[in-house]
Amino acid sequence: MPFEVAVDPELLQLALTHRSWAYEHGGAPHNERLEFLGDSILGQAVTVKLYREYPELSEGELAKRRAALVSTVALAEVARGLGIGASLRLGRGEELTGGRDKDSILADAVEAVIGAAFLSTDPETADRFVLDLVAPLLADPERFTVTLDPKTSLQKEAARRGQPHPPYETTGSGPDHDRRYTSRVALDGVTGVGEGTSKKVAELAAARDAVEQLRARRKKRA
């Protein structure tokens, strides 16, 4: 059974409120402050967990593993597992453009929920909550190799098939102060799609999506 936390209903609603909804409702409060808090709590819990469980790893390797566990792609995966997308309060624009399944929005909401859990309980409970959320990520044997360098992983997949490095098609949208990017990369019949606040983040997410699809297809054929 997943570890359950009693989160204050008002804080939970705030954690699931995107700024696009707040903008359309007279500048109502949104989840960015909770996201800021949750990001810190998440980082600390994961850092301590890795430090204690992997005494043989260097500082650099620990940092890479932490990055893999707290990345936008990883947190979006957590959000989908929790069904967070269906509960988000989004503005009309985000609703129409698939905001309920955007990696960046989902990842931010997870961090905000962590912040809400911290404020509703205590540090020890919030820490346990975080570790329960990331447990499936830690249990994935390919998590770190794919997440840490998904572009290289995709290049290796291409090389296995005797194909050149696949090109990325990346587009940006939104105002300069809130630019969002979407990237697509195709290889051997699958198309990876990724989103982020920079071209680099979007391309990394697209590469990881493509690699995971290719590996899942290979497992089915095995």
Q: What is the distance of C-alpha 104 from the center of its chain?
A: 7
* 57 and 132 in a common domain: yes
Q: What is the pLDDT of residue 40?
A: 96
Domain extent for 172: 150-221
- Residue 171 dihedral angles phi and psi, to the nearest 5°: -125, 150
* 85 and 25 in a common domain: yes
Annotated catalytic, 111?
Answer: yes
Q: What is the distance of C-alpha 70 from the center of its chain?
A: 7
Torsion region of 96: left, alpha or beta (phi above 0 gives left; psi -120 to 50 gives alpha): alpha
* 120 and 66 in a common domain: yes
* 214 and 133 in a common domain: no
* 119 and 192 in a common domain: no
Domain count, the chain: 2
Q: What is the pLDDT of residue 176?
A: 78
Active-site residue, selected from the candidate residues 39, 77, 127, 212? 39
Q: Of 83, 116, 140, which one is at a domain's C-terminal end?
A: 140
Rounded Cα distance between 117 and 110, Å, is 10
The residue to which tokens 């990345």 are assigned: 71
Q: What is the pLDDT of residue 138?
A: 85
- Is residue 135 a part of any domain in this protein? yes
Q: Across the strands, what pairs with 196?
A: 181
Active-site residue, selected from the candidate residues 35, 77, 94, 111? 111
- Is residue 24 a part of any domain in this protein? yes
Q: Of 140, 174, 196, which one is at a domain's C-terminal end?
A: 140
Q: Of 140, 167, 200, which one is at a domain's C-terminal end?
A: 140
Which CATH number goes with the domain that contains 60?
1.10.1520.10
Rounded Cα distance between 2 and 14, Å, is 23
pLDDT in tens, the chain (222 residues): 456 889 999 999 999 999 999 999 999 999 999 999 999 999 999 999 999 999 998 998 888 888 888 888 789 889 989 999 999 999 998 999 888 988 889 999 999 999 999 999 999 999 999 999 999 888 876 666 655 578 888 888 899 889 998 999 999 988 877 788 899 999 999 999 988 878 888 898 888 888 888 877 877 776
Q: Report DSSP letters for the chain, one per residue.
A: -PPP----HHHHHHHTB-HHHHHHTTS---THHHHHHHHHHHHHHHHHHHHHH-TTS-HHHHHHHHHHHHSHHHHHHHHHHHTGGGG-B--HHHHHTTGGG-HHHHHHHHHHHHHHHHHHS-HHHHHHHHHHHHHHHHT-TTHHHHHHSHHHHHHHHHHHTT-PPPPEEEEEES-GGG-EEEEEEEETTEEEEEEESSHHHHHHHHHHHHHHHHHHHHHHH-
Q: What is the pLDDT of residue 184?
A: 94
Cβ atoms of 143 and 17 closer than 8 Å: no
Which CATH number goes with the domain that contains 209?
3.30.160.20
Pairing of β 168-173 and β 180-187: antiparallel
Q: What is the pLDDT of residue 221?
A: 73
* 38 and 91 in a common domain: yes
Annotated catalytic, 169?
Answer: no
Rounded Cα distance between 6 and 8, Å, is 7
* 98 and 31 in a common domain: yes
